[in-house]
Amino acid sequence: MYLEHFGLNEPPFKITPITDFFFSGSNRGEILDALVYAISSSEGIIKITGEVGSGKTMLCRMLLERLPSQVEPVYLANPSLSREEMLYAIADGLGLDLEGQRVNVILQTLQSLLQQKTRDGKRVVILVDEAHAMPLDTLEELRLLYNLQAGDQKLLQIVLFGQPELNEKLDQPNMRQLKDRIVHHFTMLPLSKNAIASYLMFRMRAAGYRGPDIFSANAVKLIGSASHGLMRRVNILADKALLAAFVANTHQIDVRHVQAAIRDSELAPKQRNPKNIAVMGGIALATLVLAVIGWPLVGHLAAPKNSHAALQPASEQAAAPAMATPPASAVAPVAVSAIAAAPTKPAATRAAQRVPAKPSVKAPRKAAAQTMPPLLRQRLDAAQEMLAKRSKNDTSIQLYYTEDVRPARMERFLERARKLGKLQEIYVLPIKIKGHDGFRVLYGNYPSIEAARTDVQHLPKRYKEAFAPTLYMSETAQATR
């Protein structure tokens, strides 16, 4: 609609990954170069993690284009495969027709083919997109495939792309053998404020725009604040801002156009502005540059600890606690009574301290019951009952988790859930986050990953926009509770 108005050949802000629109800034180019080098010249499993909409799939598509001719990739776009289905998918990707064959026949045939390719100077790499959603049994089968070797040479490599929940899954005790084989780990950070302006005009020019910069400094700032630096959200807001400017018959994108885009998208600027995101972005970029120049350093790259801020519009902030995304290894269950004992402090005290109230883990259960609001008590109890009945493959939709355990604040969120008619679908689990008490908030309980993924599309719009939902499996929940 607005293409001719801005002199564009095609829409510049599609959310579908198109490699012509790959942005190499904000450490993306360095990660891509490091991946190509690692796959071509070294062994070991490689892991890339990043938040929803950070550009992982685009990076994977670029990797497929940049791999040298001697590397033969097998791309697994659907991670929700059983062990046998994954073996069939890999066989298909390598040109083998093994439909209906037994698993041992598939493995023997694959091993023979991989040995032949190794003798021919070829390397096979399996790229797994959305690896955080892969069943544990299938991940274990990947590890067994990685163990295949001829002499002292591995027959294939594995690259895992996933959301931060992949780290949590790999931290489970039964995944330690796979985790120990990950030799390179890269983290896709959100775009910094400075990078967003470059990113916007890069996409415009890639789509054919030849004029001056059209996004005002304040418009760029507002896009960054509302999108939290996540590429997909930046694209959505920029596209809608272009449409708003077209309707207003102007070629300059100002704050009012971005505000219209935010209203249409039901996004809002974040209320707090953690400085550590930009700092860690600089650290990660410097480390990656050194990694490309001096490759032995690559194995020591570490994921930033807190590179994710709350994804909540202003309309939700009064209803839900501030979210946090700590390392998965820091998240552990905690007794319900400890959470219940968290005092509700006066507003003046909270403002002065600027930190969530911390519960007393030694508080007696009787005192906890007296301070527990009714809806929170109900959903905590419901969560315990749900976990007690949960089978191995059961999956929930995780809305968020938080260190803010003030009962009154969570009660307001649950009250809104009741008004939406969704209270019975909400489960609240007490957990530990970096040694502090916290809550994990889940939605529903489904018999399989596929069922949960399907229902993500049917979540209330408010939840989808506010929380960036992910899937949550907890086979060991009963053992670790």
pLDDT tens profile 419-437: 989 999 999 999 887 678 8
Say yes or no: 147 and 79 in one domain: yes
**CATH number of the domain within which 56 lies:** 3.40.50.300
Q: How confident is the model at residue 404 (pLDDT cuts 50, 70, 90)?
A: confident
What percentage of the chain's residues is helix, strand, coil (to nearest 5)? 50, 15, 35
What does the mean pLDDT of the chain come to? 78
**Domain interval for residue 76:** 28-188+278-300
Say yes or no: 211 and 157 in one domain: no
Higher pLDDT, 109 or 285: 109
Could you tell me if residue 345 is inside a domain? yes
Could you tell me if residue 272 is inside a domain? no
Say yes or no: 93 and 146 in one domain: yes
Q: What is the pLDDT of residue 110?
A: 92
User: What's the rounded Cα separation, in Å, for the pair 331 and 315?
Assistant: 27
Q: What is the pLDDT of residues 354-374, one digit of tens each?
A: 444 433 333 334 334 447 899
Token digits for 319? 């209803």
Could you tell me if residue 307 is inside a domain? no
Say yes or no: 342 and 454 in one domain: yes
Say yes or no: 224 and 170 in one domain: no
Say yes or no: 392 and 421 in one domain: yes
Q: What is the pLDDT of residue 10?
A: 94
User: What's the rounded Cα separation, in Å, for the pair 324 and 308?
Assistant: 7
Which residues fall within 8 angstroms of residue 264, CB to CB, at 6 or more apart? 240
Token digits for 392? 């191995």
**CATH number of the domain within which 239 lies:** 1.10.8.60
Say yes or no: 412 and 397 in one domain: yes
Say yes or no: 145 and 212 in one domain: no
Average confidence (pLDDT) over 215-243: 95
Q: What is the pLDDT of residue 209?
A: 93
Average confidence (pLDDT) over 252-270: 83
Could you tell me if residue 309 is inside a domain? no
Say yes or no: 86 and 196 in one domain: no
Say yes or no: 238 and 340 in one domain: no
Whether pLDDT at 292 is above 60:
no
**CATH number of the domain within which 461 lies:** 3.30.70.1070
Q: What is the pLDDT of residue 104?
A: 87
Could you tell me if residue 61 is inside a domain? yes
Question: Which residues are registered as beta bridge partners of 159?
Answer: 46, 127
Say yes or no: 197 and 180 in one domain: no
